[in-house]
Structure 1
Amino acid sequence: MDELVVSTEVYADPEEVYEFLLDFPGYARYSKYLREVRTMSGDGGPGTRYALTFAWWKITYTAHSLVTDVEPPERIDWEITKDIDAGGCWRVTPGTDPSGDDAASTDAAPADTDRRPCEVALEVEFDPGSASSDALDLPRLVSFDWVVKKAVPLIRGEAERVVQRAVRDLEGSNREVDLDVAVDSERI
C-alpha cells in the first residue's frame, strides 16, 4: 500500500473543523480534478455513501466512497468501495494555547485570531496495482498502465491543494500554510 499524509495547523475549534470536513460534497471547491461529490445515501456518519466524479486529461471517472467510522470531533474514516483498494481518514487533533510557549504556532497564527490551533491531517492509503482496468473507458491506443503511471503522482499535489484551500476557508483569510507531507511511496 502506498501512503500519503498531509497535515498542518488550522486556527479554528476542533468541532468546527470536524463539521467542515464532514461536508464531503464541499470538497469539489478545493480540488483541481474533483468535479462533483453527490451524496448517494446517509447524513455524513458511518454508512454514508458518496459518488465522487473526477476529470483529468480525457478521462472522467466516478469513484464510490463509504464513510466507515467517525469519532467526533477527531476522526472521519472512509474507503473507496470499487475499482481500487483505497481509503483513509481526516484526523483533527487539538493543539496548544497560542498564548503558551509554542512560539512556532503563534508565529504562524493569523494576526486577527486568538483561537487555539489544531492539527488537521488528510491520510490516504491506496494500492495502484489493485486498480481495475475495466473502470475506465480509455481513448484508443492509451494503455491503462500509462494512465496509472501519470495519474498517481498527481495525488500528492491534489491532497496538498485540498488541505491548503480548506484551511483558508476555515480561517476566513489567506495566509502561507505550512504543510507537513509524509510519503511512503516511490510513485508519489
Structure 2
Amino acid sequence: MDELVVSTEVYADPEDVYAFLLDFPRYANYSEYLREVRTLEGEGGPNTRYALTFAWWKITYTAHSRVTGVDPPELIDWEITKDIDASGCWRVTPAETDAGRDDAGTAGDSTDPTDRPCEVALEVEFDPSSASSDALDLPTLVSFDWVLKKAIPLIRGEAERVVERAVRDLEGSTRDIDLDVYVDSERI
C-alpha cells in the first residue's frame, strides 16, 4: 500500500471543520480532476455511498466510495468500493488549550476556538497494483500501465489542492498555507 498524508493548520472551530469535511459533494469545488460527487445513499454518516466522477486527459472514470466510520468531530473514514484497494480518512485534531492561558502563557479570557488552530489531515492509502484494467475504456493503443504511470503522481497534487482550498473556504480568507506532506512511495 502506498500512503499519502497532507496536513495543515486551520483557524476554525473543530466542529465546523468536521461538518465541512463531511460534505463530500463539496470536494468537486476543490479538485482539478474531480468533476462531480453524487450522493447515492445516506446523509454523510457511516455507510453513506458516493459516486465520484474524475476526468483527466481523455479518460472519465466514476469511483464509488463509502463512509466507513465517523468519530465527530475528529475522524471521517472512507474507502473506495470498486476497481482499486484504496481507503483513507479526514482527521481533525483540536488545538490543545492551556485552560485560560494565551500563547504567551499569560491569563487570557478568549474562548473563541478560532484563536488557536486545529490540525486537519487528509490521509490516503492505496494499492496501485490492485487497480482493475477493466474499469477504464481506454483509447486505442493506450495501455493501462501507461495510464497508471501518468496518473499516480497526480494524486499528491490533488490532495494538496483539496486541503489548501478547503482551508481557505473554512477560514473565509486567502493566506499562505503551509502543508506538511508525507509520502512513503517514490511513485507519488
Structure-1-length-normalised TM-score: 0.92
Give per-residue Cα distances to partners, 1:39-71, cap 9 Å, x unaligned.
000000000000000000000000000000000
Aligned counterpart, 2:38: 38
Task: Report the Cα offset of residue 11 of structure 1.
Answer: 0.1
Is the 8 Å Cα contact of residues 63 and 80 (structure 1) preserved in structure 2?
yes
CA distance in 1 between counterparts of 2:104 and 2:44 reads 37
4+ residue segments displaced more than 2 Å:
96-99
Task: Report the Cα offset of residue 100 of structure 1.
Answer: 1.5
Aligned counterpart, 1:99: 102
- SS of equivalent residue, structure 1 residue 50: strand
Task: Give % identity.
Answer: 81
CA distance in 2 between counterparts of 1:184 and 1:70 reads 25
CA distance in 2 between counterparts of 1:17 and 1:114 reads 11
Task: Report the Cα offset of residue 99 of structure 1.
Answer: 2.9
**Which one-letter code corresponds to 1:99 in the other structure?**
D
Structure-2-length-normalised TM-score: 0.92
Aligned counterpart, 2:108: none
> How many residue pairs get matched?
178
Bigger Rg, which one: 2
CA distance in 2 between counterparts of 1:115 and 1:142 reads 52
Is the 8 Å Cα contact of residues 50 and 64 (structure 2) preserved in structure 1?
yes
Task: Report the Cα offset of residue 183 of structure 1.
Answer: 0.3
CA distance in 2 between counterparts of 1:57 and 1:101 reads 51
Task: Report the Cα offset of residue 96 of structure 1.
Answer: 3.7
- Segments of 5+ residues of structure 2 without an aligned counterpart are 106-112
Aligned counterpart, 1:57: 57
RMSD: 1.4
Task: Report the Cα offset of residue 101 of structure 1.
Answer: 4.6
- Segments of 5+ residues of structure 1 without an aligned counterpart are 103-112
- SS of equivalent residue, structure 1 residue 43: coil
CA distance in 2 between counterparts of 1:187 and 1:156 reads 10
**Which one-letter code corresponds to 1:60 in the other structure?**
T
Is the 8 Å Cα contact of residues 96 and 117 (structure 1) preserved in structure 2?
no
CA distance in 1 between counterparts of 2:172 and 2:144 reads 41
Aligned counterpart, 2:109: none
